């Protein structure tokens, strides 16, 4: 089987199956969170029921442009994941991901709602917080492999986490921001008790909110795939190992979400930058010294 055909299969599998995997992860999140709070919780497939109801509701938009911006947000996230599973440039994937985040920002601002606008400004602050760690992750992979190509990064003899332990921890840390979990869910909240008006999603309803939810599922699958990239190597046994690490990381994120209270944005910025520089920065500095 040619490499091009394999890439096409990987892209199609991501586009088709990522929302189902993301929805199941969301259901697992709700179920585990409920058990941690001594509740039974909703059915595992409840996220799919919720999205289905949203698509069936009457569409009432504050502005028509919001739907276009949210659809663009969805398409750019899908493009990011497709490029990743095609084994292309990881730095380009990150740039496309940042572009998608900007479309979400505009979709929140375009409504002129004060609640949605505040959520949008918080979303920008979150981007400022996590972007340095994401970029340093790309640089770390380059220093280890000498290439930004994902196919090259995944074909090492030894897992990249051996050379990038600090970068790995920093990336897992900022996943809490990217997945909008406490204590860093300052732009929106998944839990009703945390916020009366839900930030960037305040003016999203029906089909628009469904698009936002499905996009989050796509993005979460991509982010967890980035975690797996630290583990995967030429050895086929690294694949189940990557799945185990991804499952552990996702459980840790759920645990943190359920035992942490939301913090202020300035504390988030300070804490994220300090950890990113201390762990990822020092890890990259050591790699640069070794390469010399």
Burial class (CB in 10 A: 0-12, 13-18, 19+), 222: buried
Tens of pLDDT, residues 65-91: 888 888 999 999 999 999 999 988 899
pLDDT at 182: 83
Taking 70 as the threshold, does the pLDDT of residue 190 lie above it?
A: no
**Whole-Å CA distances, 161 to 77, 154, 216, 260:** 25, 11, 26, 27
pLDDT at 6: 82
Task: Sort residue 59 into left (φ over 0), alpha (ψ -120 to 50) or beta.
Answer: beta
Instruction: Kindly state the average pLDDT of the residues 251-276.
Output: 87
Taking 80 as the threshold, does the pLDDT of residue 25 lie above it?
A: yes
For the question of whether the overall pTM of this predicted structure is more than 0.85, the answer is: yes
Q: Which residue has the tokens 């709070």?
A: 37
Task: Sort residue 269 into left (φ over 0), alpha (ψ -120 to 50) or beta.
Answer: alpha
Percent of the chain surpassing pLDDT 90: 42
Per domain, the residue ranges of the chain are 3-291
**Encoded tokens for 108:** 């929140």
Burial class (CB in 10 A: 0-12, 13-18, 19+), 167: buried
pLDDT at 68: 87
Q: How many CB atoms lie within 10 A of CB 138?
A: 20
Tens of pLDDT, residues 222-232: 999 999 999 99
pLDDT at 197: 58
Tens of pLDDT, residues 26-58: 999 999 999 988 888 888 999 999 989 988 887
Convert the chain into a string of H (helix), E (strand) and C (coil). CCHHHHHHHHHHHHHHHHHHHHHHHHHHHHHHHHHHCCCCCCCCCHHHHHHHHHHHCCCCCCCHHHHHHHHHHHHHHHHHHHHHHCCCEHHHHHHHHHHHHHHHHHHHHCCCCHHHHHHHHHHHHHHHHHHHHHHHHHHHHHHHHCCCEHHHHCCCCCCHHHCCHHHHHHHHHHHHHHCCCCCCCCCCCCCHHHCCCCHHHCCCCHHHHHHHHHHHHHHHHHHHHHHHHCCCCCCCCHHHHHHHHHHHHHHHHHHHHHCCCCCCHHHHHHHHHHHHHHHHHHHHHHHHHHHC
Confidence band, pLDDT 50/70/90 cuts, at residue 114: confident
More confident residue, 118 or 164: 164
Distant-in-sequence, close-in-space partners of 116: CB < 8 Å, separation ≥ 6: 108, 109, 199, 200, 201, 202, 203
Question: What is the average pLDDT value for the chain, to the nearest integer?
Answer: 87
Taking 70 as the threshold, does the pLDDT of residue 275 lie above it?
A: yes
């Amino acid at each position: 089987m040619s490499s091009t055909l394999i890439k096409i299969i990987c892209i199609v599998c991501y586009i088709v199956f990522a929302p189902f995997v993301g929805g199941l992860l969301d259901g697992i999140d709700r179920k585990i969170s409920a058990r941690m709070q001594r509740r039974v919780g909703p059915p595992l497939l409840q996220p799919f029921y919720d999205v289905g109801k949203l698509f069936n509701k009457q569409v009432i938009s504050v502005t028509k442009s919001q739907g276009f911006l949210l659809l663009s947000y969805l398409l750019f996230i899908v493009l990011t994941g497709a490029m990743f599973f095609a084994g292309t440039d990881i730095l380009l994937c990150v740039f496309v991901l940042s572009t998608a985040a900007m479309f979400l920002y505009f979709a929140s601002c375009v409504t002129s709602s004060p609640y949605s606008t505040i959520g949008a400004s918080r979303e920008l602050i979150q981007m400022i917080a996590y972007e340095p760690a994401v970029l340093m992750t790309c640089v770390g992979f380059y220093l280890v492999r000498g290439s930004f190509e994902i196919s090259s990064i995944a074909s090492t003899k030894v897992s990249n986490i051996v050379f990038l332990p600090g970068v790995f921890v920093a990336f897992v840390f900022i996943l809490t921001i990217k997945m909008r979990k406490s204590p860093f869910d300052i732009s929106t909240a998944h839990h009703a008790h945390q916020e009366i008006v839900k930030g960037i999603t305040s003016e999203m309803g029906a089909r628009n909110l469904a698009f936002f939810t499905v996009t989050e599922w796509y993005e979460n699958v991509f982010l967890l795939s980035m975690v797996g990239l630290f583990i995967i190597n030429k050895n086929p046994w690294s694949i189940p190992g990557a799945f185990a690490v991804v499952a552990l990381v996702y459980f840790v994120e759920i645990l943190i979400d359920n035992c942490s209270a939301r913090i202020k944005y300035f504390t988030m910025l300070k804490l994220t930058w300090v950890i990113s520089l201390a762990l990822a920065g020092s890890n990259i500095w050591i790699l640069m010294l070794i390469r010399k």
